[in-house]
Amino acid sequence: MERQEIIRDVHKQIENLARLHVQYGLYHTDGFRAHKEQIRQTIRENRVDVKKELDQDAKLIYKRYFD
């Protein structure tokens, strides 16, 4: 997978994570935790530099749910 495609996928997944929480209230479910872990794994495996490669919105959401 090309680098820009990986970054776009991470953006999309982070935004979906926030949507699961805000719109559907699924913050405390196993599915939410699994989705969050899958995002972490993608970031780790592809060595995504969150501070440099994510756009501002995705960084804010990332900080909210992962820090």
User: Beta-carbon neighbour count of residue 44 at 10 Å?
Assistant: 9
pLDDT at position 24 is 84
Residue spans of the chain under pLDDT 70:
none
Q: Cα separation of 50 and 33, whole Å?
A: 19
User: Beta-carbon neighbour count of residue 46 at 10 Å?
Assistant: 14
pLDDT at position 64 is 94
DSSP state of 32: H
pLDDT at position 12 is 96
Whether the Cβ atoms of residue 60 and residue 14 lie closer than 8 Å to each other: no
- Phi–psi pair at 22, nearest 5 degrees: -70, -50
User: Taking the model in full, what pTM does it have?
Assistant: 0.89
Whether the Cβ atoms of residue 43 and residue 50 lie closer than 8 Å to each other: yes
